[in-house]
Structure 1
């Protein structure tokens, strides 16, 4: 089941893709007794029985719910304004750890512990939205395709074997990064947090659609050239560990976004670096979820 945030004319709606994925049904049309103004409402209000009920309605060939053609709407980021900074996992694939260690002279990872950092985003852009590149501040603009985990209910000190219970679903995240800013300040927050440097979409895939732990292909292409190609089974720190560890002594809330790390093949990993420039098109793909497409302006 795929949840979407979309715009038709001047109206924003939250919906779910029909089984053929050609149409969207607004959740407010499925549930007359509930109001969904944003994806946060969906995450907080829908329980497992509701998810099953929605699927039953989608499977009913005789349903007459109003629908919108996917080709006639504008898809927005499923979550445009996160409730907190995005929680990020750094160097979570061995090959990316190696390329980062080689290319960033002041970066050294001395243990097997996960690297965590925050990424500010006053607005997350969606698929087919442009990145407003700040190349005058830093022209070393990079891409990072990642699997995003969307937390489904508030929790603290979550046991590893209970992590899936606290997940709502998954999306594709592009952690655009200004590499020189990242290195200049000796930490990653500023270089990751320029406006429009967070992209997510095109949907949130409900957790029920994937076996757990999640093992999916993850890819990124720039102007048709495949740059990143891996699978989340190669995580150094998998989703159960990451979510459980983050929650130790720190409350995770429904709607929190965790970006789980990028595989090798980022622009920084090439010699010379393959930085993004105006006019480039970046396509991030996780097949069960879809494609996240952004152009650099």
Structure 2
């Protein structure tokens, strides 16, 4: 029964991973034979490639700002939808739909229109005199381009929200009843009961959102084209250009392994720190 899965895992997971590492040690042009160069690609990336460092900074900015925003917004919305409100099932579905759409072409066109210089967002901000008489050029200004994509990422919080909602519904009601008898306010119940109980789910969502943020490609490719001035030139987009635009598969494979290492290091740091803030049955 496991053989079909094992075949698929080896063919579509293990083989590409091993092959990409081998490619990363080669000079592999789109035309011509590959040449083994050892770690020259990695050395060149870290010592001579200024675009890599720009791409890394843009990616880290997107991840470190976007991940907390997604977690916070999805948790707040999940907490609200956890109440027995009229039409709550409709709102749960409505908030989930954007996460299904992902970064497709239609969403990218919508976002480009919304954040156009003469678009609805600037029109609304002008009512409150935000930014003065000068309209914000969201996708063409290096300061605001990343913010535009972060807002899009935050808007697509549906999957994370549903996981939080499931966790909130699993918190025993008796714990809240006991806290109310002891005179605990709703805010105290939130931070002393709800948050500690669902910290394993917070950890799970944090890792998921972090990894997906590092793999972001569609929004930067479709909305900003990596610009302006490489402000949204994320690592995934840089890897794509090196492989499929420049035909440099070896260099792109090395970039991929560097991205994997960065994700792995940050994930390990989060897991190590979880001993201090994640509460499970094993905690003393």
Task: Please give the TM-score of this superposition, normalised by the length of structure 2.
Answer: 0.23
Q: Which has the larger strand fraction?
A: 1
Q: Which has the larger helix fraction?
A: 2
Give the number of the structure whose alpha-carbon radius of gyration is greater. 2
